[in-house]
Structure 1
Amino acid sequence: MKHLLIAIFSITLSLSASAAVCNQHLDKGTPNDSDQILCRDGYAAGYNYQNKVSNWVSYHITKESVNAFYKRSNSFRVDKDLPDAFRATSSDYSKTGYDRGHLAPSGTMDFSQVSMQESFLMSNMAPQLPGFNRGGWKGLEEKVREWANTYSELYVVSGPIWDGNETYIGNGVYIPNRFYKVILDPNYNDAIAFILPHRKISSSELPSFITTVDEVEEITQLDFFSELPDGVENEIEAQAWDMW
């Protein structure tokens, strides 16, 4: 009985710690419940069982976290927290012409060994064309880190957009038609959003894809930053922060 109580207590502590980590990345609001919410050291994710890609990945970054550095892992791993039938695997991407594209970027998750390793879980990946993943998407990730250095802290949500005519790779991993990224500066209550077509994009093109958080919400049917006071949320989501 004593061992059982210790085991239950350990599980409770583990769940509490996991929830605390999740709250750090979701304290401005959870976009929606999705099929399963995954709590990681560097991000939280709302996973889509049908498409085998997360609907959203949310993370809180600071000037300190983006200036820390641990060696890149490059070890893609299946996410064992998901039911077997709904897991994406690294082999789903093999010889398809698509990159395993990070939703929460490894270059932003390198503030600890754990966060770096967890950024390579397949639940944090989406099929991305090489010219997209290594071009404009990477450029936007770098820009967000630059902004975190300037504005001290940011809340970021990234994810795929499916328009209904998508196909899949491997064992049912669906290819997004577009990708979005929304960024909130909590200190100045400003926000900016991007909707990028899934094609080869250069960093110089990124300003042409700036939009409002409201526009991303309308397309994705997600609700970002819902924990902000309604008046503040409505104001910042209706306009794009002039930060480029």
Structure 2
Amino acid sequence: MVELLDDARRDGADPTELTYRNFSVRISKSRRAPFVSAVNIDGKLSNRDVNRTDVWRRDPRIPNQYQNLREGYGNQNQGFFSRGHMTRREDPNWGEDVKLLEQADADTFHVTNVAPQRQGFNAGIWLALEEYVLGNSDNENLKVCVLTGPVMRGEDPTYYNVQVPIEFWKIVAFVNGTNKQLTTIGYKRSQAKFLPRPAKAAFVFGDFQDTQVSIASIATDTGLNLDEYVAYDVFEGAGENFEVEVTSVADFYLTR
């Protein structure tokens, strides 16, 4: 895990956490991509009209060698990849101060918040899930916490000298509008069908593109400590291997 440079550290703060406006990130040294990007969303103060920054840059608080600005990224028609936001650009854009809203949007365009994705992957349920959960949240607690990241496996394929994750995951935490209970759900999405297949490729594509999964299984896949989220998972107790194919956001289980 990448640690902050000495002059960027704060007393008592975790040296592996890159904090931005309303979200934070932890970076893998070997993959030059986030293990996890975590954002808090306040639906009542959300502003979706902030102008898109669209200027990609490195973060000066960590060494450049752990940040991939250009390698493997480019025109999809030529086989290259898009910079896929982990924390979506709209999600941290909430509040009443215009300058802070603009800062939040700009912060999401640090390369510390991206992983290689094919453009066709970055749509559908992946984009709609958070709005769906907000729509099913308790109106008095219209706040959502979202954790997002790639599943980094040793057998992930390599393109343009970059090892590209096949799967991505999300965990969403919210107060359920039906039972007023704190609730968490886990989700995985595969970009396997969008990937150009390397010659003599040995990796295996998953059965489903979109699945609701147990958070315990995400913890196993990522090595992250997610115990606090497991306790409120709608699939808690179902077993790590339990998963449900989803074809739209309406297929998600939001209660036990």
1:130 is aligned to 119
| Deviates further, 47-56 or 214-223 | 214-223
Report if the CA contact (8 A) 1:60-1:155 is conserved.
yes
Report if the CA contact (8 A) 1:37-1:45 is conserved.
yes
Report if the CA contact (8 A) 1:46-1:57 is conserved.
yes
| Deviates further, 106-115 or 39-48 | 106-115
- 2:214 maps to 1:212: yes
Q: How many pairs align?
A: 208
The separation in 2 between residues aligned to 1:98 and 1:113, in whole angstroms, is 26
Aligned-partner residue type, residue 231 of structure 2? N
- 2:185 maps to 1:192: yes
Report if the CA contact (8 A) 2:39-2:147 is conserved.
yes
Aligned-partner residue type, residue 181 of structure 1? K
2:81 is aligned to 98
Report if the CA contact (8 A) 1:98-1:130 is conserved.
yes
| Deviates further, 139-148 or 40-49 | 139-148
Flag the 1:38–1:70 CA change in 2: closer, same or farther, 3 A: same
In structure 2, runs of 5+ residues without a counterpart are 1-6, 95-100, 195-207, 239-251
Choose the corresponding residue for 2:90, options 101, 107, 124: 107
Choose the corresponding residue for 2:153, options 149, 163, 172: 163
Report if the CA contact (8 A) 2:151-2:165 is conserved.
yes
CA shift at 1:82, angstroms? 1.6
Aligned-partner residue type, residue 119 of structure 2? P
In structure 1, runs of 5+ residues without a counterpart are 1-10, 20-32
What percentage of residue pairs aligned between the two structures are identical?
Answer: 19
Higher relative contact order (CA 8 A, sep 6+): 1
2:53 is aligned to 73
Q: Compute the TM-score of the two structures, normalised by the length of structure 1.
A: 0.71
RMSD over equivalenced CA pairs, Å = 3.3
CA shift at 1:149, angstroms? 8.3
Report if the CA contact (8 A) 2:190-2:210 is conserved.
no
CA shift at 1:176, angstroms? 0.7
Q: Compute the TM-score of the two structures, normalised by the length of structure 2.
A: 0.68
What is the DSSP-based 3-state SS (H/G/I as helix, E as strand, rest coil) of the residue aligned with 1:140? helix
